[in-house]
A and B are shown apart, each in its own frame.
Chain A
Amino acid sequence: MDATFFMNVISAGLLTGLVYGLMALGLSVIFGVMRVVNFAHGDMMVVAMYATYLLYTKLGLQPLAALPLVAGALFVFGYVLQRVLINRFLGVTEHIQFLLLLSVAIIITNVVLMVFGPDARNIQLDASFESYSLGPLVLDKVRVIAAVGAGCVAALLWAFFRYTTTGTAIRACADNPVGARVVGLDVEKLYAVTFGVGSACVGAAGCLLLLLVDVHPHLSSDYTLLGFIIVILGGLGSLGGALLGGVLVGLSEALSGVLIAPSLKTMFSFGLLILVLLLRPQGILGKKP
């Protein structure tokens, strides 16, 4: 195994990791602000993937063009879900919240199963089989597209929190919900927006991920778990942390797959998670609770 080989593997891991990171961003945003752990995360992403699939097959819309639509739709879904359901459960204990979102997940998975059937679906772009060659380095074209897309969405998100009034208000809410209420912020609405934004991130990630993997209804729980690993690695609530965690998981999967055994690579992700939980429970970039 030569250096080129490792470079190829590492670059593939990095690119996939960025998309993972985007997916985890949604989870991180929601937890960071509302302290709600969204166990229906993977399911929401699967819905986004199917939506992208439908837009492509029925309307011929390319995933990148579909991205704003899907993200928008997921935003509305998240907003409504928070308003109608989750808002009632904000103060309750963790396990009840967990079960609530679990039941949302069960419902979503099975509705998807009923509508689309259990088969795996994928979209076939011309780019799906193409790759860029940079000297000895072979970069998978769709992987590059997906990673760049993920980077752009993450940058947008960062700008949203940094430069818009709503974004700033949400950050204030996250730091001190009571204080936010005192100064007259509509916390309920901000929470709903947050859930919407988190969902939109997942939607965008689903859109991009469909370029790389095939979607089927039972994909969801794997991605929920993966999302958790990533945000905990990076630090729940930290945007940069989620991206960093995604890249770390992408890399660890890639390298452990090459160096040890590919079928053991998920074990390494979990191993990494255990290590981080013990050494730095708040995550690599997380703030102390």
Chain B
Amino acid sequence: MTAANLLSDRRAILLLGLLAALAAAPLAAGDYALSILITVLLQAYLGMAWNVMMGFAGQFSLGHALYVGLGAYAGGALFAHFGTPPLVGALAGMVVSAVAGSIIGTLGFRFKVMGVYFALLTIAFAEFTRVLFDHWNWVGASSGLFLPVSHSVNDDFWNLRGSATMFYYVILGMAAAAFLFSRALLGRRIGYYWQAIREDQDAADALGIDVFRAKMVAVIISASMTSLGGLFIAFYNNNLYPESIFSMHRSIELMLGTIIGGIGTLFGPILGAVALTALGEALTVIGAHIGIDGVKQIAYGVCLMVILAFRPGGLWPWLRHRLRLDGGRR
């Protein structure tokens, strides 16, 4: 397998076509469709960020809402208090998240907290931080933090104030960058190290890999990427509440797409986000016809179960096979 066929021609064409279609989408799509697409891309982006840690390096984090929240609050609070441009806020958020990630990583990996225990450690940190933010007045505590709304008609990219279309292109760019970044990571030394650790940590260790360092790199990269998603949420929503941004629900939502799509694969998070959103929307429509609230969620649970039962590896490996895109392994 050479670099050239890491992405076979057919797949490259497919991807470029997809990208072109997405880039042209605002011309055709209405605001509703656009907001759905933003949801999809945001979920795909966050899923890819989580995938670095879990899918590539095999470290199960159930508390990624922590990094979403830190990124959102760092960017949001700096902007709300000092008018700091989001790009600077993004940097701050990435640093804070990376630090938080390395604290959790150091503690978890050094003390050999593994598997489910590690996952619960990450939840504990996220919940801990949620309660902390609930009481931190500078960021509005539980009353929430509000970003000033601009009334200018023009999009202001540098301050991330503007129309849905602008936000759409921002998240499209972020998702595309995350995809390319993930691909680059997988094709590099660290990517191979991660996969080795994911498959068998002891064997990886015996091959001279600095396992601790590799895992730390995964956590830090994943946390920083996730925090950027948080920043997007902050500026897109304009208001932040610890209760929702740090919630376990968000952590779960964030990884659901990736697991459904195909954990550890490059395209899985994207496919999973599309599939889940489509499922959600379809169920909303069906639910509206049945006319009982809650049917949607039940059907959602059932669908999830069915996918897990029949495609535990996710949809993408299966679909890739059906589409005969198996040229590269991923």
Question: Chain A interface (Cβ within 8 Å of chain B)?
Answer: 37, 85, 88-89, 92, 94-96, 98-100, 102-107, 109-111, 113-114, 221, 225, 228-229, 232, 261, 263-264, 266-267, 270-271, 273-274, 277-278, 281
Contact = CB atoms under 8 A, between A and B. Distances in A.
Contacts of B113: 277-278, 281
28 contacts: A37-B116, A85-B305, A92-B312, A94-B115, A96-B312, A98-B119, A99-B256, A99-B304, A100-B308, A103-B302, A103-B305, A106-B301, A107-B297, A107-B301, A110-B297, A110-B298, A111-B294, A114-B298, A225-B123, A228-B123, A232-B117, A263-B135, A270-B128, A273-B124, A274-B107, A274-B125, A278-B107, A281-B117
A270 B60 CA distance: 19
A231 to B, nearest CB: 10
B107 A94 contact: no
Contacts, number: 111
Contact of B259 (A95, A111, A264, A266): A95
B131 A278 contact: no
Interface of B: 54, 60, 62, 107, 111-113, 115-117, 119-121, 123-125, 127-128, 131-132, 134-135, 248-249, 252, 255-256, 259, 263, 292-295, 297-298, 300-302, 304-305, 308-309, 312
Nearest to A92: B312
B119 to A, nearest CB: 7
A88 B259 CA distance: 18
Contact of B301 (A96, A103, A261, A273): A103
Given A103-B301, A277-B121, A114 B292 contact: yes
Nearest to A275: B124
A110 B301 contact: yes
A266 B127 contact: yes
B298 A270 contact: no
A104 to B, nearest CB: 7
A37 B135 CA distance: 32
B111 A278 contact: yes
B292 A264 contact: no
Nearest to B252: A102
B186 to A, nearest CB: 19
Nearest to A37: B116
Contacts of A106: 297-298, 300-301, 304
A228 B119 CA distance: 11
Contacts of A271: 128
Nearest to A105: B301
A94 B297 CA distance: 23
A225 B127 CA distance: 10
Given A111-B298, A113-B293, 15 more contacts: A92-B312, A95-B54, A102-B304, A103-B302, A103-B308, A106-B301, A107-B298, A107-B302, A232-B120, A264-B131, A266-B131, A267-B128, A274-B128, A277-B117, A281-B111
Instruction: Determine which residue in A88, A111, A267 has the highest number of CB atoms from chain B within 10 A of its CB, and name it.
Output: A267
Nearest to B62: A98
Contacts of A270: 124-125, 127-128, 131
Contacts of B116: 37, 94, 98
A263 B136 CA distance: 12
Given A95-B60, A99-B256, A107-B301, A261 B135 contact: yes
B298 A267 contact: no
